[in-house]
Amino acid sequence: MQTDHVPTVLYPGTFDPFHIGHLDVIMRCIKHFKVIVGVYDAKAGVSLEKRVDVIKQSCQSLPVQVVSYQGLLVNCAREYNVSFCVRGVRNTHDWHYEQGLSAMNRQLADEFETLFIATDPSLSMLSSSWLRDILKHGGDIQPWVPGPVYHQIKSMQAYVT
């Protein structure tokens, strides 16, 4: 990018767990934007602090900032002076869901825009909930998560019931 001012986008999510589809969105965004990864404080299989830490490890060679937030996404965006968020969209189900969230966020903050990025087709089957289910039933998710995430899950026995 050859401009003096590079816009910043917020990439929000629970990232429970963070996977290579999330990483792909980040890597594609950093070509055009400064990226802040916003980890939402939601009930998750791994604590907020550990999710933030493992995302920082997974992105350590990338020019991204990783932060946590509670409450409304638009308030997090205001805190970091960001007018855009980016959301990966895998299919029409995601599109409809994200479109509704986008409309609500615009009602809450009319200066806030949502940018949609189509998921790489080879990663469109990935979802954190599916990965949690694979783990719950004893499957291996190593091909779909960055190394730090895999090691964290294995050491904690996270998501295993």
Q: Where are the strands (E) in the chain, listed by range?
A: 8-13, 34-40, 64-69, 84-89, 113-118
Range of the domain at 14: 8-155
Which CATH number goes with the domain that contains 76? Answer: 3.40.50.620
Residue 161 has pLDDT above 80, yes or no: no
This prediction's pTM: 0.93
Give the list of residues 6+ apart from residue 78 with CB closer than 8 angstroms, or none.
109
Q: Give the model confidence (pLDDT) of 36-69 as tens digits.
A: 999 999 998 899 999 999 999 999 999 999 999 9
Give the count of domains, the chain. 1
Q: Is residue 75 part of a domain?
A: yes
pLDDT, tens digit (0-9, with 9 covering 90-100), for 81-96: 999 999 999 999 999 9
